[in-house]
Amino acid sequence: MMARASGGPDEAGLTSGQQARVDAALDAMLDLPPGARESHLDALRANDADVAAEVASLLEAADACGDFLGCPATPASHALVAPGLEAGTRIGAWRVVREIGYGGMGEVYEAERVEGGFAQRAALKLLRREARDQLGRFHAERQILARLEHRSIARLLDGGLAPDGRPYMAMELVEGVNLTAYCEA
């Protein structure tokens, strides 16, 4: 979550001060067991109903994600990865340009928008066929990205289902060294 420098309302209608209170309350409440959170939310509601509503919404989203960040995705292996999509393949409003990479859960492609009347490039992540058991994790990742707004996090641009029924998400394409190579360096 990103507080606005102007002090004015953000997209949820919160001022930067309210957003700071949301961040602090959320950090504190995530450390509590779900049953112990309600009394803290009641106290927030008494002081600022908008802050309490945003915190409750974020807690609900966090609970829906389960242990998303606590358990790793299925490990990737070249032997398990099905052949990637060909350049020119259409997925929703996007046309695949080239494969960028893959992981335990997804295949990532550079794609260009071919619908909507404007030019846009994206990193299109598609759930791997072999990772159908990771569907919940993929949806959780997509939901988390939809709620995040920060200059250091790639924005979610679009999402949907590919013609074969696999979910995808189109994210802001960031040029440069891949994260694994960067961390190793």
> What are the 10-residue block averages of pLDDT along the chain, 185 residues in total?
42 78 85 85 90 86 62 46 80 95 90 92 94 90 88 91 94 87 88
DSSP string, the chain: ----TTSS--TTS--HHHHHHHHHHHHHHHTS-GGGHHHHHHHHHHH-HHHHHHHHHHHHHHHHHTTTTTSPPPPP-TTTPPP-PPTT-EETTEEEEEEEEE-SSEEEEEEEE-SSSS--EEEEEEE-GGGGGGHHHHHHHHHHHHH---TTSPPEEEEEE-TTS-EEEEEE---SS-HHHHHH-
Q: What is the pLDDT of residue 81?
A: 44
